[in-house]
Each structure stands twice: as C-alpha cells, then as structure tokens.
Chain A
Amino acid sequence: MIVPMKHISLFALKKDERRIMKALQQNGVVQIERAEGCEPGSAAGLFKAACTDELAEKTNNVTRIKAALGRLNPYLPKVGFLEALPDAPEDELIAAVPGALALCDRLDELQKKQSVCRSEKEKKAAVIQSLKPLSSVTIPLDSIKPTRTASFSLGLISPEKLPELDEAGIMYDSYPGEGRKIAILAAIPNAARDETLAQLRSLGFAEINLPETAGVPAETSEALSSEIASLELENSELSSAIQELGGEAEVLKKGLDGAMIEQRRAEARCELFATRETFGLSGWVRSDEADKLEAIIGENSSVHYLEMRDPFDDEQPPTCCKNNSFFAPFEFITNMYSPPDPRGFDPTVVMAPFYLLFFGLMMGDTGYGIIMSIGAALFLKLKKPKGGTGQVTRILFWGGLSTIVFGLLTGTFFGMNWYDIFGESFPFPLIDPMKDQMTAIIVYCGLGFGQIIIGMIISIVLHLKAGDWQTALFDIASWLMIFAGAALIFLTQAPVKYVGIGLAALGLLLLIVFGGRAKKGIGRVIGGFGKLYDITGFLSDVLSYSRVFALGLATGAMGSAFNLVAGIARDMLGGIPVVGGVISFIVAGLLLAVLHLFSIAMNALGAFIHCARLQFIEYYNRFYTPGGKLFKPLGINTKYNNVK
C-alpha cells in the first residue's frame, strides 16, 4: 500500500532550530526539500552560507575518520561475521567525535614522522650509493679545491689507460680499488683546460659529480650507514605506535558514526531558509505520521507555524510503501526495478506470492530449502541485519520455506529422488520434471499464464478506478474474453462450446473495432488489426516461464551430480585397507558439504534473479507504473553501531 504524503511548511524561531532539527533526525519523519527562493545569494538563502561551512567541516570529519579506519584496518580487532552491531545512544556517538579526531591527529603526526624518516633514509642511501665508486679514495673530498693555476677533476678510468695518461703529460693521483675501473684525481691546468679535458675524454675518463659530503668517502659511508640503522629503528617504533592505535578502534568507530549523524544533519540544515529571527523548512511527511510530527515540533519549539497540505497535481511527492512484516521485505524486489509512482499502485502484495511460488519451483530441492531457511533465520537472529541486507535475508528465509514445499511436490532432496529414499510407493513428487518433462513445462507455463491473467485483471481494476473504462474493456478485457472463449472451445462439449465461440468472437470484435480508437483516419480502421499482433507478446511471455523448468531441473541435476562425485570418492578411498573406511567417510562428507553449499549459493542466486525478472518483465508490464522516488526522511544512518 502506498502511504499518501503531505507537504509541510514550518516556520519557527532560529534559537529553536538546532533543537528541532535534532528531534526531527532522531524520529526520522520528515524528508526535507529545499524550498524555492532560498538559493545561496538570495536574501532567504543567507543562512545557507554558514551552513555550508558547517557541512564542509562535518564532511571533512567523516572523511578523516574513515581514512584513519582504513589505514588502521589491518590492526583493528576482528569482528565476527555473525556478530550484531553494538547498541549505543546518539549522544555517546557524537561525544566520541572529538576523541576520534584527536586519534586522527595523532595518526597523521605519526605518519608524517614516518614519511620524513623514510625520505631521510632514502636520501642517505642515495649518498652511500654515489660514494661507492670512490670507496678507495683516501683524501677528504672537501680538500679538493682549485688552485690559482689548476683545477681538479675526480673520475673513473680503466687501469690500462694510465700509461697513456702519463704519455699525454697529465698529472694525476690514482686510488686503486676493487672495481674494474680505478678512481683518479686529475689536475687540469687552467692554461690548457680544453685540450686536457678533451684528452681525458678520449681516454674514456668519466668525471664523477662530487656528492656534497666532506671527509674521506669510506668513513662518510660508514657514518651514514649507522644513521640509517637508527632511522630504521625509529621507523619501526613509529609503525608499532601506529599499530597500537588500532586498539582504539572503538573510539574511531563510534566517532565515525557520530560524525556521520552530524554530517547528515548539517546537510539537511543547508536546505533550510531563514529570515533574521526565524527559519523555514519545507518537505514531506507521511500522512499517518503527521500527528507525530506536530507533537515533536510542539515539544521542541516555543513559537511556530506549521502548515500541512496534500500535494498539488504538478508536484512529485516521494513514494513510501507500507506493508506488514511479511510483505515488507519484498519491497526490495520492486525497488530493484523502480519504486512505484506515488499516485500508482504498490504491487508488493500481489507480487510476493508469485515470487515465492516460482522461487520454490526454481530451487526445487527440499534439502536446500531447509538449509536456506535455517541459515537465514540464524543470520537474522544473530546479526540482526538492517536495510537491504535484512530484506534479502528475509526473502531468502521465506523462499527457503517455499522451496521445502515445492521440493516435495516437484523436486528432490539434496539431489536425491524421493522414491529412491522412500521406495517407489512414496507419492511424491507429484510432478517429476526428470521423467515427465512436457507435463512439467506445461504446468509451469500454465502457472505463468495464470500470473499474466491476474496481472491483466489488476490492470482492469486499476483502469476502472481511474475512470478509464475504455482501455479496461477494449484493450484488456477483450483479450481475457478471447482467452476464456478459446479455453471453452478446446475444453468443453457442444452446448457450452458455443458460448466459448461467442465469447471469443465478441472479444475479437471489440479488439478489432475499438483497438485503433486513439488514432485518426485510416489508422482508426486498421489499428485494431495491429493489436492482434500482441498475441506474440503473450506467447513469448508465457514461454519465458519455461525457465522455471530448466532452473528447477538444473538444481536437482547438479545436486545429484555432486552426490555422484562424493560417492565415487568414497568408493575409491574405501579400498584402502584398515583406515579406508574412516578416510572415505571424512572425504566424502567434506565433499558433500562443500559442493552442496556451492550448489545452494549458485542456485539461490539464479532463482532470486530469474524470479525477479519474471515479475519485472512478464508481470509488471501488465499493470505497473514505475518512476517513483523513495521517501528518504532525515534520520540516523550509522555503520558500526545501532542507535537506540
């Protein structure tokens, strides 16, 4: 059922604004919408500037705490998969924000130190690297200075070129080391600078740019190495300090939730507008919560003006569906397609039974149904999931129950045939798709045809409610007449048969004569014949339900194949003397567990999606008006804690 929405406009004193917003967020009843004329820059939008700053600050808080949690992720205490979120009051979460931010500061500081440490280390390592070829040089590097008549160049050269250097009359000092080339210090007279350099180059002399270090290279390297060692020690100390911060995860998690609550509220405040003393708010509220809203505002403000009205025709209110606890999870399926139009019809109640029917038929294995139901129930009990996860888990729970029933009627038990377990006289399954394929396909397509017919009847009702009896009669009821007539013709004897012929003929006549009524001229005449072409649509829609047969059979076949595999493993290992019995039992058991769990997962995924598709394309096509936007009231959304 779609809940009607009311548009609200609220004016109250600015001094009450924070109190009111807090109360609204705690109760989650209003979706705030930006009112017209409060764009930033306009007189009414002056309030916004301050809010935008606040929002930026709160968003920054969320980003920082999230980043810190991401950085500390490897060191956080592990949370069990089935562990429910802890409960915490809102105030406690918000109070944790400063502490969390302080932790972020501390983490930033440590990380900064660490990166300084690392870059220092790299710099020193680079110097050591550059000093390596000079390790044999025994004079302090800072003592190499040009004199009045000559400058000096330090470089590498092959030892066999030394005699040639002597021949060229170049003065040099050599420092033989371990490498293939040796270091020399060549004197370059200022008077013959260019010639000397050219000569040196032609002999393969490679000059080394001196690193900016003083002292003898070997000694410098040694000193730097010990500095690097101490830097490494510091780095590891910083790492363990960061690791210790992981122990403060609780504060960070609470702080993140608190910061998210504040961010959401700041976001909503940006949609308000204000005069000097008052602020205004416009938005949507569910009509059944209007009284609650009035009470909340009354409690939290000294003076206020609250106006509620039904939406105007040209307004698009948000869509909010209300169903009981059994049907509510199935809204998830509808929303996967598109939420219903706010003035349309909530299909959840008429869809869920078919969804469960076809889900059960597609899974079609009682054993799998039992596992799914128990698993989903445990997950719901222990983890208490909310939102989409909770809805899907509930759908799987009911789907599991449906699978148990339809597994008995048309399927298998963990891939085994019922009559293999209980003997040939066991009355189930009623239809065995493995033995009687055509019956199964016809039954499933027949069920699908039934669903399509119900979709058409719903469409007729909706059109009649909207006062559009022409569409209801000429476009939809005419088809129903044709189908009913055809059924009578094929299934009954003489007197009733003529009724069937009459009915079908009437339907055909209505369709052909009035099918083109919206068109003009010649189209009006032949448009009705075009409508006949829709029969192909019906045909393909009905045949689409044959997937139920294929998926149901695939589940059973996959299960039995896995049983076969485990059986083969048992037979092979059972041959081992003495321990064979135990080993084969364990291995076959493990194989069965793993393979069947895989089979459940894959088939549940397939059934979930294919079933949803049957609803969207074959069923909703007949009557559904999509295009709504979900009602998202200002509320509390947290990640690590449940707010009471």
Chain B
Amino acid sequence: MKRFRKFAAVAILAILVLAVCGAALAESQPVLTIGAEPPVDNTPKGYIWAAIGACIAMILPGIGSAWGVGMAGRAAAGVAAEDPEKSGACLMFELLPATQGLYGFVIAMFIAVFSGILSGTVMQLPTDLGQSFFYASLPIGVVGLVSAYFQSRVCCAGIGIVAKQGNGGMGITFAIMVELYAILALIISILMVVGVPVNA
C-alpha cells in the first residue's frame, strides 16, 4: 500500500510537470532585447497540448495495467503451479486489469486522429483546442491508473477463490465492479475528445 501511495504521488506529479512543461512551451515568447519591438508569435501551440494528452492517455493507464496484470499474473502462476487445470480460470482474472491500458490506447488513438497528429494538420491546431484534448485525456489517464491497480487486488483475491474452490464464480463479478469507474472515465474521455470542434 505504501508503495502504491508513493507511486500514485509520483504519477500525479508527473502529470503536473508535463502540464506545466506544456504550458510553458506553449506560452513561451522569445527573449526580448531592450529597445526592440516585442515580436508577436502567432503560431498556434495546440500541437504540444494534443501530444501531451495522447501521451498521458496511453502512459498512465498503461502503467496501471502493466502493474495490475503483473500482480495478478504472479498470483495466477502460483495457483497454476499447484494445479494446472485451474490456469484457465486464473487467466481470466489476470486479463481483467489489462482493459484499462486498452481504454487508454483507444483514447490516445482518438486524440491522435482527431487532433490531426496522424494526418499532420496538428500544426494548425489552436492552443485552446489542444488544451481541450489534454483535459480529455485526464479522466481515463488518472482513473485508469488507479482502477487497474485496485482491480488487480480484487483479482488476486479472486484467484484465491479459484485456488480454494476450483472456479471463480462471483469473484469475476467483484472484480468487474471496479472496472465500472474506468468505463465511466472512458466514456467521459471519448465524449470530450469527439466534442472538440476541430473543424469548426
């Protein structure tokens, strides 16, 4: 638990740093020399924000899922070593925390497509629209990271049920309960991404 707190703190700090970096990059102006006219930088900086958003949507849930699948995988391997016939049920539990990473991947892909990173039109993306993509990545990013971790803990307990009773039964349902919040975050992220009026 302590390790996780540290880790979550680091992750959230990382977002803040990224955000501040982005803001700084986007708003930075060339150094002024005394007496010179301040040059006006009119190039839109949305591309930086959109790229940071896509990164956050992939990185944070990816970390959570990798961690969660790893934890559940260790527990599953322990059970499968004793009784290989139970490996099927264990595999199901191991894969449950993997979904958050996929949701993050979906959002990252959405941001890449909608902001024009893939088509190359991202350089014309206005700063405020780019920032919208950045904010859209936060729900799935943060919730994905945290829910993958906690779902994995339920999954490990579910693997305990498999070890003792032979099949997971309700354990799967318990684990799915945690997933709801990742799904809600995914919905909000999707709605926010597709709602950005890029072509307006």
A residues with CB within 8 A of B: 336-338, 388, 434, 437, 441, 544, 546-547, 549-551, 553-554, 557-558, 560-561, 564, 602, 605-606, 609-610, 612-613, 616-617
Additional A-B contacts beyond A336-B172, A554-B103 (19; CB < 8 A): A336-B169, A336-B170, A336-B173, A337-B169, A547-B183, A549-B187, A550-B183, A550-B187, A553-B106, A554-B186, A558-B102, A558-B106, A561-B105, A602-B95, A605-B95, A609-B92, A610-B179, A612-B172, A617-B173
B residues in contact with A606, CB < 8 Å = 99
Q: Do B176 and A610 touch (CB < 8 A)?
A: yes
Shortest Cβ distance from B170 into chain A, in angstroms? 7
> Could you give, for residues 51-81 of chain B, a 1 whenever the CB lies within 8 Å of some chain A CB and a 0 otherwise?
0000000000000000000000000000000
Q: Do B106 and A616 touch (CB < 8 A)?
A: no
Q: Is the interface of B mostly helix, strand, loop or mixed?
A: helix
Q: Do B102 and A546 touch (CB < 8 A)?
A: no
Q: Is the interface of A mostly helix, strand, loop or mixed?
A: helix
Contact among A441, A553, A602, A610 with B98 in the assembled complex (CB-CB below 8 Å): A602
Known contacts A336-B169, A549-B187, A550-B190; A613 and B99 CB within 8 A of each other? no
**A337–B179 alpha-carbon span in the complex (Å):** 18
Q: Do A546 and B187 touch (CB < 8 A)?
A: yes
Q: Do A551 and B183 touch (CB < 8 A)?
A: yes
Q: Do A561 and B98 touch (CB < 8 A)?
A: no
B residues in contact with A558, CB < 8 Å = 102, 105-106
Contact among B110, B118, B180 with A547 in the assembled complex (CB-CB below 8 Å): B180
Q: Do A550 and B186 touch (CB < 8 A)?
A: yes
> Could you give, for residues 166-200 of chain B, a 1 whenever the CB lies within 8 Å of some chain A CB and a 0 otherwise?
01111011001101100110110011001000000
Shortest Cβ distance from A268 into chain B, in angstroms? 20
B109 in the interface, Cβ–Cβ < 8 Å? yes
Name A616's closest neighbour in chain B (CB-CB): B173
Contact among A336, A441, A557 with B109 in the assembled complex (CB-CB below 8 Å): A557
B residues in contact with A602, CB < 8 Å = 95, 98-99, 102
Known contacts A434-B194, A554-B186, A612-B172; A561 and B109 CB within 8 A of each other? yes
Shortest Cβ distance from A409 into chain B, in angstroms? 20
Shortest Cβ distance from A246 into chain B, in angstroms? 18
**A554–B168 alpha-carbon span in the complex (Å):** 26
List 4 tightest A-B contacts by C-beta distance, closest first.
A561-B109, A557-B106, A613-B176, A547-B183
Shortest Cβ distance from B67 into chain A, in angstroms? 18
**A132–B190 alpha-carbon span in the complex (Å):** 74
Shortest Cβ distance from B199 into chain A, in angstroms? 13
Shortest Cβ distance from A605 into chain B, in angstroms? 6
Interface centre among A546, A554, A602, A605 (most CB of B within 10 A): A554
Shortest Cβ distance from A19 into chain B, in angstroms? 33
A residues in contact with B96, CB < 8 Å = 609
Q: Do A609 and B187 touch (CB < 8 A)?
A: no
Known contacts A554-B102, A564-B118, A602-B95; A437 and B191 CB within 8 A of each other? yes
Q: Do B180 and A544 touch (CB < 8 A)?
A: yes
B residues in contact with A605, CB < 8 Å = 92, 95
User: For chain B residues 79-106, which have a beta carbon within 8 Å of chain A?
Assistant: 92, 95-96, 98-99, 102-103, 105-106
Shortest Cβ distance from B182 into chain A, in angstroms? 9
B residues with CB within 8 A of A: 92, 95-96, 98-99, 102-103, 105-106, 109-110, 118, 167-170, 172-173, 176-177, 179-180, 183-184, 186-187, 190-191, 194
B residues in contact with A338, CB < 8 Å = 170
Shortest Cβ distance from A440 into chain B, in angstroms? 10
Shortest Cβ distance from B45 into chain A, in angstroms? 26
B residues in contact with A388, CB < 8 Å = 167
Shortest Cβ distance from A500 into chain B, in angstroms? 31
A residues in contact with B184, CB < 8 Å = 546
A residues in contact with B183, CB < 8 Å = 546-547, 550-551
Q: Do B110 and A557 touch (CB < 8 A)?
A: yes
Name B179's closest neighbour in chain A (CB-CB): A610
**A558–B99 alpha-carbon span in the complex (Å):** 12
Contact among B92, B105, B106, B170 with A337 in the assembled complex (CB-CB below 8 Å): B170
Shortest Cβ distance from A465 into chain B, in angstroms? 28
Contact among A553, A564, A609, A616 with B190 in the assembled complex (CB-CB below 8 Å): A553
A residues in contact with B103, CB < 8 Å = 550, 554
**A544–B96 alpha-carbon span in the complex (Å):** 18
23 residue pairs from A and B, CB less than 8 Å apart: A336-B168, A336-B172, A337-B169, A338-B170, A546-B183, A547-B183, A550-B183, A550-B186, A550-B187, A553-B190, A554-B102, A557-B109, A558-B105, A560-B109, A561-B106, A564-B118, A602-B95, A602-B98, A602-B99, A602-B102, A609-B96, A610-B179, A612-B173
Q: Do A554 and B106 touch (CB < 8 A)?
A: yes
B residues in contact with A613, CB < 8 Å = 173, 176-177
A residues in contact with B118, CB < 8 Å = 564
B residues in contact with A557, CB < 8 Å = 106, 109-110
**A441–B167 alpha-carbon span in the complex (Å):** 34
Known contacts A544-B180, A550-B183, A602-B95; A437 and B173 CB within 8 A of each other? no
**A602–B106 alpha-carbon span in the complex (Å):** 13
Known contacts A557-B106, A602-B98; A437 and B176 CB within 8 A of each other? no
Name B189's closest neighbour in chain A (CB-CB): A550
B residues in contact with A550, CB < 8 Å = 103, 183, 186-187, 190
**A606–B103 alpha-carbon span in the complex (Å):** 12
A residues in contact with B176, CB < 8 Å = 609-610, 613
Shortest Cβ distance from A435 into chain B, in angstroms? 8
Shortest Cβ distance from A336 into chain B, in angstroms? 6
Name B187's closest neighbour in chain A (CB-CB): A550
Interface centre among A388, A547, A610 (most CB of B within 10 A): A547
Shortest Cβ distance from A87 into chain B, in angstroms? 22
A residues in contact with B106, CB < 8 Å = 553-554, 557-558, 561
A residues in contact with B109, CB < 8 Å = 557, 560-561, 564
B residues in contact with A612, CB < 8 Å = 172-173
B residues in contact with A551, CB < 8 Å = 183
Name A553's closest neighbour in chain B (CB-CB): B190
Name B96's closest neighbour in chain A (CB-CB): A609
B residues in contact with A544, CB < 8 Å = 180
Name A543's closest neighbour in chain B (CB-CB): B184
**A437–B105 alpha-carbon span in the complex (Å):** 19
A residues in contact with B102, CB < 8 Å = 554, 558, 602
**A272–B99 alpha-carbon span in the complex (Å):** 51
Name B182's closest neighbour in chain A (CB-CB): A550
B residues in contact with A554, CB < 8 Å = 102-103, 106, 186
Name B91's closest neighbour in chain A (CB-CB): A605
A residues in contact with B98, CB < 8 Å = 602
Q: Do B187 and A337 touch (CB < 8 A)?
A: no
**A602–B98 alpha-carbon span in the complex (Å):** 9
**A434–B183 alpha-carbon span in the complex (Å):** 16
Shortest Cβ distance from A254 into chain B, in angstroms? 19
Shortest Cβ distance from A615 into chain B, in angstroms? 10
**A374–B96 alpha-carbon span in the complex (Å):** 25
Name A434's closest neighbour in chain B (CB-CB): B194
A residues in contact with B170, CB < 8 Å = 336-338
Shortest Cβ distance from B122 into chain A, in angstroms? 16
A residues in contact with B92, CB < 8 Å = 605, 609
**A564–B103 alpha-carbon span in the complex (Å):** 17
Interface centre among B103, B118, B168, B187 (most CB of A within 10 A): B187
Name A438's closest neighbour in chain B (CB-CB): B191
**A613–B177 alpha-carbon span in the complex (Å):** 9
B residues in contact with A546, CB < 8 Å = 183-184, 187
Shortest Cβ distance from B65 into chain A, in angstroms? 11
